[in-house]
């Protein structure tokens, strides 16, 4: 899987990338917001100290990307993503956390997170990851990416929902699981970018999910939480 240290930074967006932060530590939240505001091509549109505050107000000014901590007071960050993804389907959610165990990683992906970074991620790598996720990638810290790859190395397990996909759909899904951007999928298997997007839409329809991150979780035969 390509990690933030292995990919060239995506081309800058013609419009500022709108970022929101959900983090209960005042110091960390301030630093993250300062990093984003000081970087060209970004704007920090909002910041919240809890899931409850984000649920109440975030939809009023939808961001392109939301950085979310897991260990929040009250409802945790994974539940925050699960609920917000239902009302903000176009927003990309990236976990920024100290947790690097498989349970937290895959619960976050199943809830709708598109990326998973550790809080020790350096500023430059974090900014690159924000650009990457906005361009269609799934950025992960290096050891997190390796953990996901290890769970997928044998391909979809017997009985996986991915068995209902066509060989080409499985090929596209496998590349997404390894962190490929849509354009990289297009180049890797020699199909157009619109065709890649069509395959992804069909994959989500067949697997009855709403995001590529959820499709990747099912590819690894991981249980998804019901959305209601």
Query: 160-211, pLDDT tens digit by residue?
Result: 555 678 888 888 888 887 767 788 888 889 898 889 888 888 888 888 777 7
Instruction: Give the pLDDT score at 137.
Output: 83
Supply the mean pLDDT for the chain. 81
The whole-angstrom separation of Cα 170 and Cα 99 is 29
Please, are residues 35 and 6 in contact by the beta-carbon 8 Å criterion?
no
Domain 17-148 sits in CATH 3.40.50.2300: yes
Q: Which of 24, 159, 8 has its CA nearest to residue 80?
A: 24
Q: Which of 149, 198, 195 has its CA nearest to residue 174?
A: 149
Instruction: Give the pLDDT score at 103.
Output: 77
Q: Which helix (H) or strand (E) holds 109?
A: helix 102-111
Chosen CATH of 155-219 out of 3.30.70.360, 1.10.1840.10, 1.10.10.10, 3.90.1650.10: 1.10.10.10
- Let me know the angle formed at the C-alpha of 125 by 121 and 127, rounded to the nearest 5 degrees: 110
Structure tokens at 167: 């060989």
- The model carries a pTM of 0.65
Q: Parse the chain into domains and list their residue ranges.
A: 17-148, 155-219
Query: Which residues, other chains included, contact 134 with Cβ-Cβ below 8 Å and sequence gap of 6+?
Result: 10, 13, 17, 64, 65, 92
Residue 155: CB atoms within 10 A of its CB come to 12
% of the chain beyond a pLDDT of 90: 39
In this predicted structure, the answer to whether residue 69 has a pLDDT above a threshold of 90 is yes
């Amino acid at each position: 899987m390509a990690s933030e240290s292995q990919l060239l930074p995506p081309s800058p967006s013609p419009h500022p990338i709108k970022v929101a932060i959900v983090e209960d530590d005042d110091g960390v939240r301030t630093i993250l917001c300062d990093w984003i505001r000081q970087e060209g091509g970004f704007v920090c549109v909002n910041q919240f100290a809890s899931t409850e505050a984000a649920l109440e107000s975030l939809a009023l000014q939808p961001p392109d990307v939301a950085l979310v901590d897991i260990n929040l007071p009250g409802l945790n960050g994974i539940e925050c993503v699960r609920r917000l993804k239902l009302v903000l389907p176009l927003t990309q959610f990236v976990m920024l956390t100290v947790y690097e165990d498989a349970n937290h990683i895959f619960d976050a992906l199943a809830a709708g997170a598109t990326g998973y970074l550790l809080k020790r991620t350096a500023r430059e790598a974090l900014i690159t990851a924000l650009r990457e996720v906005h361009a269609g990638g799934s950025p992960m810290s290096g050891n997190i990416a390796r953990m996901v790859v290890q769970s997928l190395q044998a391909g979809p397990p017997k009985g996986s929902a991915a068995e209902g996909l066509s060989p080409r759909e499985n090929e596209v899904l496998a590349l997404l699981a390894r962190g490929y951007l849509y354009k990289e999928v297009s180049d890797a298997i020699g199909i157009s970018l619109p065709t890649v997007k069509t395959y992804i839409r069909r994959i989500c329809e067949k697997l009855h999910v709403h995001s590529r991150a959820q499709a990747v979780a099912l590819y690894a035969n991981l249980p998804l939480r019901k959305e209601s």
